[in-house]
Amino acid sequence: MRLILASGSPRRSELLAAAGMGFEVIPSPAEEIHDASLGMAGLCEENARLKASAVFSLYSDAVVIGADTLVFLDGEPLGKPKDMAEAENMLRRLSGKTNQVCTGVCILGPGEKVTLLHVVTEVFFRELDDETLFAYLAKTQPLDKAGAYGIQDCGEMIIERIEGAYDNVMGLPVEQVLQALDLRRADIPVRSEFF
């Protein structure tokens, strides 16, 4: 059984590979929705479902993983900034506050097997002065990250601590994904060099 990651995110690929899974990457063409009325879990799970479904429609003999990660501040979803000015504004809003990172995951497989799940991690931001904020923006690529930050990219500059899963903040809650895949484990290739 083929395992497909319906995401072009290098961070998700790294996390899944580190877990020892054999998989292909086929980025999803699906357009994300931005309907905050769905709530944190509903919005992330629906975007993950859209992404997985678009790829599964082309590879219905495979198991397909779709994922969507968003940063929520006071219940408002923060997606990827469109430019550096918006990235700066997002980081100023996050400064000194606690935000939630929610990753929704959808796993689709043959026989109409569907698994939807989400994981939330609390992220506590430091108070950011201008020097720290601009230094962080200069050292990282904030435009491809929800909320304009990545915990794995100089995260110690801006993040005080987290409560929950680190890999979830990176974009894929690996433990929960592996548990969901356990139901199909016999059919999914495992990278032999890890065993």
Predicted confidence at residue 33, as pLDDT, reads 94
Name the band, by pLDDT with cuts 50, 70 and 90, for residue 195.
Answer: very low
Domain membership of residue 117 as a residue range: 3-194
Backbone angles phi, psi at 23, to 5 degrees: -155, 165
Check pLDDT > 90 for residue 191: no
**Residue 33: DSSP 8-state:** P
CATH at residue 162: 3.90.950.10
Predicted confidence at residue 190, as pLDDT, reads 46
Q: 154-189 in b/e burial notation, b at 16+ Cβ within 10 A? A: ebeebbeebeebebbbbbbbbebbeebbeebeeebe
Domain count, the chain: 1
Predicted confidence at residue 187, as pLDDT, reads 53
Q: What is the pLDDT of residues 129-145, one digit of tens each?
A: 999 999 999 999 999 89
Query: What integer is the mean pLDDT of 3-23?
Result: 96
Predicted confidence at residue 113, as pLDDT, reads 83
Q: Could you tell me which residues come within 8 angstroms of residue 120 by beta carbon, excluding any fewer than 6 positions away?
A: 40, 41, 100, 101, 102, 164, 168
68 is catalytic: yes
- Candidate list 61, 68, 167, 182, residue with the active-site label: 68
Q: What is the pLDDT of residues 58-103, one digit of tens each?
A: 999 999 999 999 999 999 999 899 999 999 999 999 999 999 999 9
Average pLDDT, the chain: 92
Predicted confidence at residue 192, as pLDDT, reads 33
Q: What is the pLDDT of residues 155-168, one digit of tens each?
A: 999 999 999 999 99
